[in-house]
Amino acid sequence: MEGQIKSYKELIVWQKSIDLVVEVYRVTENFPRQEMFGLTSQMRRSAVSIPSNIAEGRGRGTRKDFSNFLKVSLGSSNELETQIEIAKRLNYLKKCDYLKNL
């Protein structure tokens, strides 16, 4: 069928979530050193989980599996949003980075 998506890499949501991962890594580079195994690590894992689950779900081949993995991805995005809010309240994020990510 013409126009059908052949790869998860063609999905705009996957592409934007990859951009989000890069941005999360960028802003967490400036977090305090003591957060390396705390909030920094948690935010990075949550961010990476989003495109990873989109890709895995798309690769499963069924709509049901894809739907389930999209739900997991959404859960990871909610985790990340919460972690961004915590980082903001701890003054780890600059206001411009906070507004850009939410």
Token pair listed for 77:
């995005």
> pLDDT value at position 38?
95
End-to-end CA distance of the chain, in Å? 37
pLDDT at position 65: 95
Rounded CA-CA distance 85/102 in Å is: 9
57 with 65: CB under 8 angstroms?
Answer: yes
Q: Which domains does the chain have, with CATH numbers?
A: 9-101 (1.20.1440.60)
More confident residue, 19 or 100: 19
How high is the pLDDT of residue 94?
A: 76
| pLDDT greater at residue 101 or residue 74 | 74
pLDDT for 13-58, tens place per residue?
Answer: 999 999 999 999 999 999 999 999 999 999 999 999 999 999 999 9
pLDDT-based confidence at 1, cuts 50/70/90?
very low
Q: Give the closest residue to 13 by CA, choosing from 69, 86, 97, 95.
A: 69
